């Protein structure tokens, strides 16, 4: 059984920004309901909270979540091919998932989410994320990866287009983020081996599957490139407005 207080993500959950995101996301979920599908359940943190509101919760992930709870059914599944009939769930929650879906499969995933709900789909994704910031370089294959395994960036219009068969009933924004870069800074960081990438992420290299490891000590040349990248990026930030960190949308099934 996974104890949500000892799971590797537990300390991350304690972060005030993460708690703010979770509170806002849960505010979009009805206080009571029959059944809910939690897509991308991972350690079951949200599934457990939602089990207090719903008669039954299905916690779905690519690997079967290790959760023991009388009201939670952990299952292994793929959001692009859900093995449930149309309208099987009153609520479908999909948070911090769609940014990881390969672009070629994104439309299919959103279609599946809309298909299996009878009432609402609640989606949470990073908002207008600059995927060039925090890139990593795999020490095994030498290729670059986007931060946190995110391969898609979203705004409200794109989400509404992906879920065009549903009605966007409520939209909320959480947090603030001014992390932006440019072509020159990104190129210099890539050449320097991306020493400040998101190497703490659980997601492996998207090219070869190896665990991402921080690069070895940098030489003088790499340090100079990194410094130049920072200086150029700092100049850009002076004229860049901050964006919210996340956008949450509650979509309603059309009557």
Domain ranges of the chain: 10-253
* pTM for this prediction: 0.89
Q: Quick count: other Cβ atoms within 10 Å of Cβ 211? A: 13
Give the pLDDT confidence score for residue 5 in this predicted structure. 41
The pairing of strands 117-126 and 89-95 is: parallel
H/E segment holding residue 175? none
Architecture in CATH of 10-253 = 3-Layer(aba) Sandwich (3.40)
- Rama region for 73: left / alpha / beta (φ>0; ψ in -120 to 50; rest): beta
**pLDDT one digit per residue (tens) for the chain, 255 residues:** 334 444 445 567 788 889 999 999 999 999 999 999 999 999 999 999 999 999 999 999 999 999 999 999 999 999 999 999 999 999 999 999 999 999 999 999 999 999 999 999 999 999 999 999 999 999 999 999 999 999 999 999 999 999 999 999 999 999 998 888 999 999 999 999 999 999 999 899 999 999 999 998 878 988 898 899 888 888 776 667 788 999 999 999 987
The three-state secondary structure class of 173 is strand
Closest CA to 185 of 236, 241, 243: 236
């Amino acid at each position: 059984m996974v104890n949500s207080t000892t799971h590797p993500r537990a300390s991350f959950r304690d972060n005030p920004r993460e708690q703010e995101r979770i509170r806002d996301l849960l505010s979009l979920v009805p206080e009571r309901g029959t059944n809910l599908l939690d897509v991308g359940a991972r350690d079951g943190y949200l599934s457990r909270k939602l089990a207090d509101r719903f008669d039954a919760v299905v916690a779905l992930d690519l690997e079967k979540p290790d959760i023991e709870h009388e009201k939670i059914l952990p299952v292994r599944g793929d959001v692009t091919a859900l093995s449930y009939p149309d309208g099987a769930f009153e609520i479908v929650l999909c948070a911090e998932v769609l940014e990881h879906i390969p672009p070629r499969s994104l439309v299919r995933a959103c279609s599946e989410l809309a298909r299996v709900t009878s009432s609402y789909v609640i989606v949470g994704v990073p908002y207008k994320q600059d995927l060039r910031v925090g890139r990593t370089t795999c020490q095994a294959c030498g290729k670059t990866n986007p931060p946190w395994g995110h391969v898609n960036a979203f705004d409200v219009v794109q989400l509404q287009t992906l879920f065009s068969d549903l009605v966007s009933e409520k939209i909320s924004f959480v947090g603030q983020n001014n992390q932006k870069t440019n072509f020159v800074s990104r190129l210099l960081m890539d050449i320097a081996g991306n020493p400040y990438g998101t190497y703490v992420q659980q997601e492996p290299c998207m090219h070869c599957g190896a665990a991402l490891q921080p690069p070895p000590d940098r030489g003088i040349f790499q340090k100079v490139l990194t410094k130049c990248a920072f200086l150029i990026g700092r100049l850009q930030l002076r004229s860049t407005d901050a964006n919210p960190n996340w956008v949450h949308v509650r979509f309603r099934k059309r009557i």
